[in-house]
């Protein structure tokens, strides 16, 4: 059974969703639910997916991530990925999706890049 831990927190005007474990078809619906809820939060409209503790991501994870990107683009809100492991980065590169996403090496950098100083770590 796939194990994935999802943590959601607000930092300024940004929702940070941290994923730890494996993101595959069996848990992609849970991630999609969390991402959709975050993107509908008017108080925290911007989103950062922190993947620093993600060990594995398959095509279902790519689909969830791409859908989140498309919703953010349609709503003109900030969306970024951070903490990509070499394996996760490789999956994005092979799929050709790495060029679509704003990717930052650290959560602090992703938050600093959010529009209008929407967030920063304490």
pLDDT tens per residue, range 11-64: 988 999 999 999 999 999 999 999 999 999 888 889 999 999 999 999 999 999
Q: What is the pLDDT of residue 54?
A: 97
Please report the pLDDT score of residue 122 as a whole number: 53
Please give the CATH topology (third level) of the domain spanning 4-117: Transcription Regulator spoIIAA (3.30.750)
d(CA 89, CA 117): 27
- Give the pLDDT of residue 119: 56
pLDDT value of residue 117: 57
Q: Is the dihedral of CA 122, 64, 55, 81 positive or negative?
A: negative
Give the domain ranges of the chain.
Answer: 4-117
What confidence score (pLDDT) does residue 121 get?
55
Residues contacting residue 113 through CB under 8 Å, at least 6 positions apart: 78, 80, 102, 104
- The 10s digit of each residue's pLDDT in 73-120 is 999 999 999 999 999 999 999 999 999 999 999 999 999 999 865 555
Report in angstroms the alpha-carbon separations of 9 from 2, 6, 13, 15, 63. 23, 10, 11, 6, 22
């Amino acid at each position: 059974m796939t194990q994935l831990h999802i943590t959601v927190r607000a930092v300024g005007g940004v929702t940070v969703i941290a994923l730890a474990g494996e993101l595959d078809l069996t848990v992609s619906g849970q991630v999609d639910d969390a991402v959709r809820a975050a993107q509908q939060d008017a108080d925290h409209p911007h989103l950062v997916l922190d993947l620093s503790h993600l060990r594995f991501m398959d095509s279902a994870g790519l689909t969830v991530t791409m859908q989140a990107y498309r919703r953010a683009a349609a709503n003109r809100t900030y969306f970024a990925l951070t903490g990509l492991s070499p394996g996760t980065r490789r999956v994005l590169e092979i799929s050709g999706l790495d060029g679509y996403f704003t990717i930052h090496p650290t959560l602090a950098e992703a938050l600093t890049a959010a529009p209008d100083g929407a967030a920063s770590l304490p």
